[in-house]
């Protein structure tokens, strides 16, 4: 069976992402990272998170806004942050009863503890004047998002390889490893994006799944609906019990071919025709062969640890501030001085003395899902297979 089995009118693919790079005024450096027991941490730093008030925020008090939208900290913290001016509106201190209006600039100045990632090097696979391809390690996000900024592929490449600016041209989920193509100019990025949007780019992944996958090619041709609040996708069949379409998700199609099996698990080649969030993962679940270590889709009841703590302010950098967090200093050797234990004295930081923020698994493992190849009209980029792809 070929791609024509999935031939249908496509909407713009999800992986044709908006290509935006904001070079921070204090870019990441090698000394920003601490390595312990196979984990890469980021030294805590001060940061000014800036956002313009969304329409749904209008009419809320400044404290209610933060308590409702950013639940990672207690309400008392936000009360204190407003009173001391760490949270401001349009650059001014406001009372805790201040009512926010749409489009106002909201800023939150605080000490940042980024989530940790596995301490694996980002291997550069191929370089051209306007393209670089890398082997993305699992657990590392591609670009700044949520609470991640320096602990990202683009941040680490800038710090350790002096590569900037960078324009990732496709998505890989944080827990997924493999080939990542990065343009080094806006014009090259736009060229790649046009090819993705027109369906000229073919993508191949491999996955390690439960059970003996069928020997014949399997095609999952069912819509995918992503729930951002729950952090997971579901599949939707075109016709419900009444015979009427009740599909709310986006059309999605993936072709699967068994590579090998040991009678308990199988290695499967995955060729997504569309690019929806968690598409391969949820389509494999739909076929009855979920990724063997994918706790989000192996069970309906098991929560996935990587979902914890993902809501965070969006960032814009604030330069030139000393690296001091609630009397906790990180010295040049990377060790931590003893920190004050009574955080009520200075609620600037709610994480010290721990390096990672609360709610993150510092020994989180990657998914057995790996991008091996992207190809376009006149180009192909590939990535080596991971060790788990061998069932022997």
Closest C-alpha among 274, 273, 295, 272 to residue 285:
295
Question: Residue 34 pairs with which residues in a beta bridge?
Answer: 41
Q: Does residue 173 have an active-site annotation?
A: yes
3-state secondary structure of 56: helix
* DSSP character at residue 165: S
- DSSP annotation of 61 reads B
| Radius of gyration of the chain from its Cα atoms, rounded to whole angstroms | 23
The backbone torsions φ and ψ at residue 19, rounded to the nearest 5 degrees and listed phi first, read: -95, 105
From 173, 221, 313, 378, active-site residue: 173
Q: What is the 3-state secondary structure (H, E, C) of 218-273?
A: EEECCEEEEECCCCEEEEECCECCCCCECCCCECCCEEEEEEEECCCEEEEEEEEC
Contact 22, 293 (CB under 8 A): no
Q: Which two tokens stand for residue 68?
A: 């409702």
- Whole-number Å distance between alpha carbons of 343 and 73: 13
CA–CA dist 100, 89 (Å, integer): 8
Burial pattern 221-259, b for ≥16 Cβ within 10 A else e, equals: bbbbbbeeeebbbbbbeeeeeeeeeebebbbbbbbbbbe
Number of H helices, E strands in the chain: 6, 20
Indicate the pairing of strand 131-136 with strand 177-183: antiparallel
DSSP 387: G
Question: Is 134:120 a contact under the CB 8 Å cutoff?
Answer: no
Q: In Å, how far are 39, 215, 261, 287 from 264, measured between CA atoms? A: 31, 14, 7, 16
Q: Which of the residues are catalytic?
A: 173
């Amino acid at each position: 069976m070929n791609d024509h089995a999935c031939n249908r009118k496509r909407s713009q693919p999800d992986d044709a992402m908006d290509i935006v790079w904001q070079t921070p005024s204090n870019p990441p450096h090698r000394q920003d990272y601490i390595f312990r027991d196979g984990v890469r941490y980021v030294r805590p730093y001060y940061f000014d998170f800036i956002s313009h008030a969304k329409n749904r925020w209008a009419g809320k008090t400044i404290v209610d806004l933060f308590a409702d939208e950013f639940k990672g900290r207690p309400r008392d913290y936000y009360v204190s942050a407003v009173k001391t001016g760490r949270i401001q509106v349009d650059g001014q201190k406001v009372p805790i009863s201040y009512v926010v209006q749409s489009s106002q600039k909201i800023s939150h100045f605080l000490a940042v503890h980024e989530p940790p990632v596995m301490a694996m090097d980002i291997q550069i696979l191929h370089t051209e004047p306007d393209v670089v391809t890398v082997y993305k390690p699992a657990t590392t996000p591609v670009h700044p998002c949520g609470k991640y900024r320096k602990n990202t592929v683009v941040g680490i490449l800038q710090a350790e390889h002096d590569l900037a600016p960078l324009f990732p041209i496709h998505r890989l989920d944080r827990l997924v490893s493999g080939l990542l193509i990065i343009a080094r100019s806006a014009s090259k990025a736009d060229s790649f994006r046009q090819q993705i949007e027109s369906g000229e780019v073919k993508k191949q992944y491999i996955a390690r799944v439960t059970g003996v996958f069928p020997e014949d090619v399997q095609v999952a041709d069912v819509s995918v609906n992503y729930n951002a609040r729950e952090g997971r996708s579901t599949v939707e069949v075109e016709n419900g019990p009444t015979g009427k379409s009740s599909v709310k998700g986006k059309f999605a199609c993936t072709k699967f071919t068994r590579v090998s099996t040991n009678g308990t698990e199988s290695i499967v080649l995955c060729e997504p025709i569309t690019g929806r969030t968690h598409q391969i993962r949820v389509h494999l679940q739909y076929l009855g062969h979920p990724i063997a270590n994918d706790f989000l889709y192996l069970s309906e009841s098991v929560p996935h640890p990587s979902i914890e703590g993902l809501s965070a302010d969006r960032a814009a950098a604030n330069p030139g501030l000393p690296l001091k967090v609630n009397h906790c200093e990180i010295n040049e050797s990377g060790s931590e001085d003893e920190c004050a234990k009574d955080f009520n004295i200075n609620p600037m930081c709610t994480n010290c003395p721990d390096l990672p923020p609360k709610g993150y698994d510092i020994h989180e493992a990657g998914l057995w899902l790996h991008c091996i190849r992207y190809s376009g009209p006149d180009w192909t980029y590939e990535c080596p297979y991971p060790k788990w792809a061998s069932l022997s």
